[in-house]
């Protein structure tokens, strides 16, 4: 089994830091500034920005492992399993996510994950931290995009 890291692009780092700081700032303001805290059951809303940070952090992509029967996408506390059984091909395509529309998921807060669509790939699932390292996995009925630290070597390993 070979493991690859999932390095973050500069854009992902910048967006993640800015959004984290905004969420922390909003929460601290709602907790510390007198008169800014909602009353009653709405008081729990002041913790919503922190919940967003924690929720998105849980789905961070940390790396990928090529196992004999699957590709594992390592998250913070678990791995998402992509079967190799119906995998048709794997190609390094650094422009594959260009002009994509996010249909459901996260567009840059600790990762680019979820379901996307563009003219080139159609509908696809992304587990990406750096779109310039995109590897497109083509299955019988779906497409998956990942971003290992060494995309060309990753593709060679899959094809071996």
Backbone dihedral angles phi then psi of residue 128, each to the nearest 5 degrees: -125, 145
For 76, 109, 151, the CA distances from 55, given in Å and listed in that order, are 11, 10, 28
Is residue 44 predicted with pLDDT exceeding 80? no
What's the pLDDT band for 113 if we cut at 50, 70, 90? Answer: very high
Structural domain span for residue 103: 1-160
Per the structure, how many domains does the chain have? 1
% of the chain at pLDDT higher than 90: 84
Flag the least confident range among 37-51, 81-95, 109-123.
37-51
Mean pLDDT of the chain: 93
Side-by-side strand order, sheet with 63-66: 2-5, 63-66, 70-74, 79-83
């Amino acid at each position: 089994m070979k493991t690859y890291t999932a390095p973050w692009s500069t854009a992902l780092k910048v967006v993640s830091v800015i959004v984290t700081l905004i969420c922390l700032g909003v929460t601290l303001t709602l907790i510390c500034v007198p008169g800014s805290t909602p009353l009653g059951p709405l008081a729990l809303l002041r913790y919503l920005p922190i919940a967003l940070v924690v929720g998105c952090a849980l789905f961070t992509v940390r790396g990928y492992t090529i196992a004999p029967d699957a590709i594992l996408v390592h998250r913070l506390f678990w791995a998402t399993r992509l079967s190799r059984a119906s995998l048709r091909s794997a190609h390094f395509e650094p422009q594959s996510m260009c002009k994509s529309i996010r249909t459901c998921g996260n567009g840059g807060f600790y990762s680019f994950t979820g379901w996307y669509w563009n003219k080139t790939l159609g509908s696809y699932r992304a587990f990406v931290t750096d779109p310039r390292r995109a590897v497109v996995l083509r299955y019988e009925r779906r497409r998956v995009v990942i971003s290992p630290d060494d995309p060309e070597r990753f593709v060679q390993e899959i094809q071996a």
